[in-house]
Amino acid sequence: FAVRAVVQNFRVEGSSMEPSLSGQEYLLVNKALYFRVNLDSIGKFVPFVPDDDGRERHLFRAPRRGDVIVFKYPGDTSRDFIKRVIAVPGETVEVKDGTVFINGAPLKEDYILATPNYTYGPKTVPEGAHFVLGDNRRNSFDSHAWSAGCNQQQECDFVPEENIIGQAWLRYWPFDALGLIDNNEVKPQAP
């Protein structure tokens, strides 16, 4: 039970994360990395924890740009998806001319299969949400495409933080592909 609380297995389906991940690969997902805690609750039992007005904080760290995450698809939470975090809360994301821009600065993305052939935004990621894209930009059902079926009152193109299951951590099958997943932080280039 304790192991299942912090690690989960996941099977990649489809080609949306190629070349980084291929269909039918099996991964371990680190669920503990993004654990959230309410410091007020802990402060009742541990005297040196400060009062925090009931807000939750990440125990280790928040998802960051470049993390490959597994999450419940916002349009149908019975389905789990895997994508890469491209923009975090407060950042403005735009896709144009085959390049992703964060706050007006282009991202250098060595891990993608092909540049995007669509436009998106500019849109600012709301608090408590993340913007995600597949590494196979021309063949991925991700944040750039989800808003098409939305009404104006919804923010469908972002993944709410409560939908995030964890970070893809280790590929264990097929055995010849055994290894850690590339979760290096991606920074925008100087404009």
Q: Where are the alpha helices (DSSP H) in 39-175?
A: 39-43, 143-146
Which residue in the list 31, 83, 123, 140 is annotated as catalytic? 83
Q: Which amino acid, 112? A: I
Q: Is residue 123 flagged as an active site residue? A: no
Residue from 139, 184, 174 nearest 26 by CA = 174
Place of tokens 């590339």: 182
Q: Is residue 16 flagged as an active site residue? A: yes
Do the beta carbons of residue 167 and residue 183 sit within 8 Å? Answer: yes
DSSP label at residue 125: P
CB atoms within 10 A of CB 95: 23
Q: CA-to-CA distance for 69 and 4, rounded, in angstroms?
A: 17
Q: CA-to-CA distance for 125 and 173, rounded, in angstroms?
A: 34
The separation between CA 98 and the C-alpha centre of its own chain, rounded to angstroms, equals 21
Q: Which amino acid, 123? A: K
CB atoms within 10 A of CB 9: 12
Which residue in the list 16, 20, 140, 143 is annotated as catalytic? 16
Residues involved in catalysis? 16, 83
